[in-house]
Structure 1
Amino acid sequence: MKIWLQKLIDISALARSREMLKEALADLTRDFGFDYYAYLNVQPVGTSAFSNYPADWQERYFTNKLDKVDPIVAIAKSTMRTFVWSSENSTRRASKPIRRFYTDAADFGIRSGITIPVATAFGRVSMLTVASHKPSISLAREIDPVAAAMAVAQLHARIEQAEFNPTAESSVRMTLKQVQLLKWSAEGKSMRAMATIENMTYSNVNSHLNKARKALDAGTLPQATALATKLKLI
């Protein structure tokens, strides 16, 4: 595992393109005896992935917002430590949604794996998972959690700095009117000014902006405006 983690650091430093990194991660994952890799960047608005999981699974995962029920994400966020997991050992006392999650994932050959979470800027979390079709896995020795976190932090930095497009990501559903009002908010307009510009009542403006804020999982209108700008929705 120590050698594998060093190789992860090496390819993170050397990969100069999205395709180069994808190929290198796939090769490294196979060398480790696993089938798939999945780097997840968990954001307040949603989650994005850089992964070679089957395309149909990635589409299902993000279309149905499975990151909200994914037990691997939940464990990673709560423990912030490297851990081994398997559907075989995790479904006995699990809730129905989690059992369904493991069953669906198993249909795509995702049954066990190792997940390494790392803390990123502004209280967010990223994680790398290597997954296998095997019902369970066993390691000859324990994983050094510090070395693992350092290696995944290097991967996170490479993907962030190079701005590689994700292979899949959450989508935010908003109406055109919500987007228009957030744009006016970004321009510094008050809600009363927006009501005049858009020929709407103040209460309607407030209602649309509240729905937009909830869609973005934002606590305040300024936060919603900032998130919408970052996501290039406005």
Structure 2
Amino acid sequence: MDLKTWFQRLTDVTSAARTQEVLRDALPDLVEELGFDCYAYLYIQPSRTYAYSNYSPEWLKHYFDSDYTTIDPVVKTASTTLRPFTWCSGGSRHSETKEVRRFYSEAGDFGIRSGISIPIRTACRHMSMLTLASSKPSLTLDKDIDQIAAVTAVAFLHAKLEEHNAKPTAQPTFELTAKQTLCLKWSAEGKPMKSIATLENMSFATVNFHLNNARKVLDAGSLAQATALATKLGLI
């Protein structure tokens, strides 16, 4: 099957999936039809990245625990080019850092050695990307990737996952203290710091301390963003 036809198949399968469970069950077979071993859909945001994937659970956990989104050369290439591209772990090793070489080595241990990645721009200037991965050390395509077909199919997949509010396969874990959670909960209720201090018998400085640390844990740029993110993640 050629890539252009496969991207149309992806759009058809995505359109037919009425639930996220149907889509989750259909994607692995579709990926195998093209001769790849697994797939990963990454939704990348400044303060949160999550995966919808059939990669090994051990690799996904290690990936997020190690904060590999900041190291992953495939993600970096995707964010700078925003064009479909092929990649392999046996590239220009002389120009790679020790961290990148370790990343490729560890990914290879889980059978991720080459692939195709299709990044797209999503709402609020965020980026999503679909990667089809193979255990082969290199990848050769008969034709160039049809960029319009690729981006259209991945954009359709993104919209469907958003429509279903699909539960991520893996995402970073955030650990808030009891005081941080409590203060954020009050903030989500619309209470200003002065009121939180009164309600919880804390000083204003203590409330500010807990909320500021919670913001840092969540890698949020503001208290409002931290509150919204904690609510979305079900932390409060």
**More displaced 10-residue stretch of structure 1: 221-230 or 15-24:** 15-24
RMSD between superposed Cα atoms in Å: 1.3
Partner of 1:202: 204
The alignment partner of 1:192 has SS state of helix
User: Is 1:228 aligned with 2:212?
Assistant: no
Which of these residues, 90, 111, 114, is aligned with residue 112 of structure 1?
A: 114
Amino acid paired to 2:123? A
Partner of 1:167: 169
Partner of 1:58: 60
Matched-pair contact (CA < 8 Å) for 1:114–1:130: yes
- 2 CA distance for matches of 1:209 and 1:72? 34
- 2 CA distance for matches of 1:39 and 1:209? 32
How many residues are matched?
Answer: 234
- Residues 1-234 of structure 1 mapped to structure 2, 5 A cutoff: 1-234=3-236
- 2 CA distance for matches of 1:181 and 1:5? 47
Amino acid paired to 1:191? M
The alignment partner of 2:94 has SS state of coil
TM-score normalised over the length of structure 1:
0.95
User: How far did residue 23 of structure 1 move?
Assistant: 2.6
User: How far did residue 105 of structure 1 move?
Assistant: 0.1
Matched-pair contact (CA < 8 Å) for 1:26–1:37: yes
User: How far did residue 141 of structure 1 move?
Assistant: 0.9
- 2 CA distance for matches of 1:9 and 1:192? 52
- 1 CA distance for matches of 2:218 and 2:55? 26
Unaligned ranges ≥5, structure 2: none
The ranges of structure 1 where at least 4 consecutive aligned residues each deviate by more than 6 angstroms after the TM superposition are none
User: How far did residue 90 of structure 1 move?
Assistant: 4.5
Unaligned ranges ≥5, structure 1: none
TM-score normalised over the length of structure 2:
0.95
The alignment partner of 1:89 has SS state of coil
Matched-pair contact (CA < 8 Å) for 1:181–1:209: yes
The alignment partner of 1:58 has SS state of helix
